[in-house]
Structures are given as C-alpha cells and as structure tokens.
Structure 1
Amino acid sequence: MIFKEVAVENFTKIPTAVLKGANRIELNDNLAVGGTTPSLGVLQEATKYLQEKSVPVVEMIRPRGGNFVYNDLEIKMMEADLFQAQKFGVDAVAFGALTNDGNLDEDAMEQLIAASAGMQIVFHMAFDALAEDNKKDAIDWLIDHDVDRILTHGGPLTTPIDQTLGNIKKYIDYADGRITILPGGGVNFKNVDEIAEKLDVKELHGTKIIDGVNN
C-alpha cells in the first residue's frame, strides 16, 4: 500500500484529493514557485476540513519563492506562521533554511525547529539546493534535531525524476531508516508505483500523484 501525499494550492482541490484517496495533504499557496505559506483563512478552513476527515495536513512554511537563504525578518515571519500552525492543530510543517554557500543554516533551523514544538517537521526541497558534498552531513544534522522527513527530487526540478532516482536511492541508503526520505517532484499517478518499487519506499509526494487532482 503506497502512502500518497498530495501537494495542493489553497483549499479548492482538497475535497477531491481526499475523495480520491489522498493519505496526507501538503497545503501551499503559489505552487508555481514551488509553494509558499498559505493564508490564515485557507489554513483555518483546510485544517478544520481535514481534521473532520482524519487526513493529516502538512503546512508549507515559506515566506516567498526564490532561494532558501532567509534574513532575520523572514525567519521571524516563519516563526509567526509556525505558532499559527500550532494553534490550528496542524500535523506537520515543511521548511528549510540554507546559507549562501550551500550549507544548512543551522541557527535559523534551530529557531524554526524550536517554534515547531509538537508538530512533525519536514525539510522540504531546499535539500536539493544543498551542495552535494554537504548532503550526508545535513541528513545527520536533521536526524539529530528530530526532523521527521526530507522531501527530495534528487536533483534540480528541471531534471526528470527517472534520471534522479539514483541520487534519491543514495540518500535512502545513507539515512538507513533513521529518517524518512520522501521522493517528490515529477511523481505522478502514472509513475508512482514504478518509482515506489525502484526505490523500495512506501511514501511518495506529488501534485499529480492521484488521477484527477491537479491534472
């Protein structure tokens, strides 16, 4: 049984996704730039609806599109969004913060993790923007700081996922069950079974992972 996490923009597609068997919803605004933090109103209604349906929700915490290098003010905004997520009973939050030289921004991450108390934490596709040499250390650091999942495409989103599966497999092997590696970016309802089999994973993520949602 494959566990399918569907990335949606705002509330519109959530009822269809749930009806068609979504196991978890990642709630975003502005998927065209890879997803940003949804509005307060959307978060409130989506969370309420999904709690009634017993479907967990992951909220994207990202103040803007572009890179994942944030200044102090942006980190403050993200903290405020995390406190709101807690208030609404959000199950999990997805964020990532990097330095200019392609490392984890450990100070920013520690602040954001502290503000996420009680919620699962997903390090999102900022992982793919890390320098390749830094990825193993990043996996270890995220494990040590109780992060639950890493969402990864295994390379730039411009590269089709069938060409990045080798990298994703490498991360899965290195993580060795200590943290969930969640493949995403190009996973759709046509290739999900094949990718799950090739990578030997049970959880996958995508906007089009379920037929009839976002496609």
Structure 2
Amino acid sequence: MKEVTIIFKEIALENFTNIPQAVLAGANRIELNDNLSAGGTTPSLGVLKESSKYLQEKSIPLVEMIRPRGGNFVYNDLEIKMMETDLFEAQKLGIDAVTFGALTQEGEIDEDAMEQLIAASSGMQVVFHMAFDDISSDKQKESIDWLADHDVDRILTHGGPFEIPIMDNLDSLQQLIDYADGRITILPGGGVTYENCDEIASKLGVKELHGTRLIDLA
C-alpha cells in the first residue's frame, strides 16, 4: 500500500443538475455528459455553457465528453466532422479538457480520426476515454505509445472488461501504469466509488480517479 493523497476526484455527471451538489460534496473535476446510461454522449451547447460558467467561477476543471452517439467507437467521416465541430465550440468556451476515442473496425486506434480530433482540441487537455478498453490487450501498450507521442494527457480505463469489478483489474491497471511510466496519466474508472477509492489510490499509487459514484451524493 502506498501513501497517496487523491488530487483529482473526477465525477462523471449528466446535465447541469447535480453539478452544484457534487462540488459542495468535494468533486474537484467534472466530466460532463449527456445520456450516461449509454456510456455518455456529447452534452448540448446550452448545458455546456452554463456548466462551464458555473465551474469556471469555482475554479474547477471541466472535461467535456465528445461522443456523437452511444454504441461502438468506430465513426464515419460525418460523425468525425460532428465531433470536430463540438471541439471547436469547446475551444470557444475555454473548456479545460475534452474526452473522446476513435477506433477502427479491427479494434485499434483510428489514427487518422484521432489526429484530426486532437488537432481540433488545441489549447485543451485531451483524454482518451474508455474506448481504450475495447482495444485488444496485446495492442494496448503500443496504443499507449501512440497516445503519449501525440500529446494526449490521460487514458481513462477500467483495466479490463467492464463486467469485471475494478478491484479485480488492479493488476492489469498497475501494468498499464508501469508501462506508461509517467509519459501519460492512466486514470482508473468504472466502478470506482467513494467506498473503494482510497484503497484503489493506495494500491495503485495514483492521484486521480474517475467515477459516477466517487463522491457520496446521497
């Protein structure tokens, strides 16, 4: 066990409704989504504007989900264009970070799409979201290399199939963290709660965690 203070408790929220409550409860980074039941999609511009304004006043970073639909992460040219438009809007609003991921039919990083989206994210941190967990395990290390080389800041990952509890994925998460070696942040998520976050942070030595239940909002 490592002595670790969690610096960022990143809460995934839907819409503006729960943001003030989450901030009062100790959330210090917000990932804003629509449609969390589908894994999160791009929030509306109106919701984004009000959320950004509120969080900027509180000096709390905002991460915007950029995902045009639920389902897989294989996008056609029109969908990439939609995502690019949303990224330009995020730029205008001074959003701190954006999270997205694009894969090929073969389950590898769609390098052309990602280069286009990263270029449209200038001035914002870039997070590769849990599309990472759809990449086959034998391709994940080279994917980390590619993302680190393209100045992506973080990879959000459950460390394995989502149906496996995150506590059972700690060994694979540790391997990813060790391989990344500080070149890019590995952000554990999916099943991280206010009840297990301290244990996960201590075992992995991480200072950032992500979840919908990372703070007790009851």
* TM-score for the superposition, normalised by structure 2: 0.97
AA aligned to 1:153 is H
Shift of 1:77: 0.2
How far apart, in 1, do the equivalents of 2:123 and 2:93 lie? 12
Q: CA deviation at 1:157?
A: 1.3
2:180 to 171, 175, 178: 175
Partner of 2:142: 137
- What is the SS of the residue equivalent to 2:49? helix
Of 193, 198, 207, 2:198 maps to: 193
Which ranges of 4 or more aligned residues in structure 1 deviate by more than 6 Å? none
Structure 1: unaligned runs, 5 residues or longer: none
| Distance in 2, Cα, partners of 1:48 & 1:104 | 33
Q: Output the CA distance in 2 between the equivalents of 1:180 and 1:199.
A: 12
Q: What's the % identity of the aligned pairs?
A: 74
Shift, 1:163, TM fit: 1.1
Q: Which residue of 2 aligns with 1:72?
A: 77
- Tell me, in whole angstroms, the C-alpha distance in 1 between the residues paired with 2:136 and 2:160: 11
The aligned amino acid for 1:56 is P
Letter in 2 for 1:95: F
Deviations along 1:96-134, one digit per CA (max 9) or x if unpaired, are: 000011110000000000000000000000000001111
Give the AA of the match of 2:40. G
CA RMSD in angstroms comes to 0.7
Aligned residue pairs, count: 213
Query: Which protein, 1 or 2, shows the higher relative CO under an 8 Å CA cutoff with sep ≥ 6?
Result: 2
What is residue 51 of structure 2 aligned with on the other side? 46
The one-letter amino acid paired with 1:200 is: G
Counterpart of 1:164 in 2: which secondary structure? helix
Any idea what SS the aligned residue of 1:138 has?
Answer: helix
SS in 2 for 1:204: strand
Tell me the amino acid that sits aligned with residue 60 of structure 2: V
In the TM superposition, what is the alpha-carbon distance from 1:156 to its structure 2 partner? 1.6
Select which of 189, 202, 209 maps to 1:204: 209
Aligned to 1:19: 24
- 1:182 is paired with a residue whose SS is strand
CA distance in 1, matches of 2:40, 2:205: 27
Q: 1:126 aligns with which of 122, 131, 156?
A: 131
Is 1:106 the counterpart of 2:107? The answer is: no
Separation in 2, partners of 1:20, 1:81: 29
Q: Secondary structure at the match of 2:182?
A: coil
1:84 paired to 2:89: yes
Q: 2:68 aligns with which of 54, 58, 63?
A: 63
What CA deviation, in whole Å up to 9, does each residue of 1:57-79 have, x standing for no partner? 00000000000000000000000
CA displacement 1:138-182 (0-9 Å, x = unmatched): 000000000000000011211110111111111000000111000
Q: Quick one: distance in 2 between partners of 1:4 and 1:81?
A: 25
TM-score (norm 1): 0.98
Counterpart residue number, 2:155: 150
